[in-house]
Chains A and B, each alone.
Chain A
Amino acid sequence: MKILVAEDNVMLLKTIELKLIKEGYEVFTTPDGRETMKEIIRLRPDMIITDVMMPYASGLEVISMVRQQLKWKTPIIILSAMEQEEVILNAFDLGADDYITKPFSLNELVIRVKRLLNRNN
């Protein structure tokens, strides 16, 4: 299973990457929204985990591209801060499947990833 993780905070990105690799997933990472859009098309991942606030293009723009332009149903989890309630609502409106607020439990993230992947398979 290929998971693309988009996050411009290196520490968070590496934390998620290491955890998901340990769980047996093939993990790809991108540091900004523009790169994420390119990698989504190139890799066609089974899941996308994306931050909201990223350089060049936001996580919301990434969701919009996947759902409206590509018309793909790839599961998408949003990483957001506690105070970004409105953003989370926008993300769901655009087609995000789930969200997790920072700081988060890595075990909880893995449960959410498994649940979504199972649902889609």
Chain B
Amino acid sequence: MKIKLNGQETETCEAGTILALLENYGLKDKPLVVELNGSIIKRGQYDEARLNEGDVLEIVRLVGGG
């Protein structure tokens, strides 16, 4: 199933959860924020939030900056 992940068209497992996606990328325990279709998803809901075809997902984190 195709979603847009961090600006890129990406193939992902059919009807997976956000938690599954993060595990897939080795990001499960990293400090980050997930925004799904414009809404911030709380960490506690990662295992419940399901991805659908055409979803727009942003995974962001704090980095060095001025």
Whether A and B are associated in the same complex: the answer reads no
Binding site for B on A (CB under 8 A): none
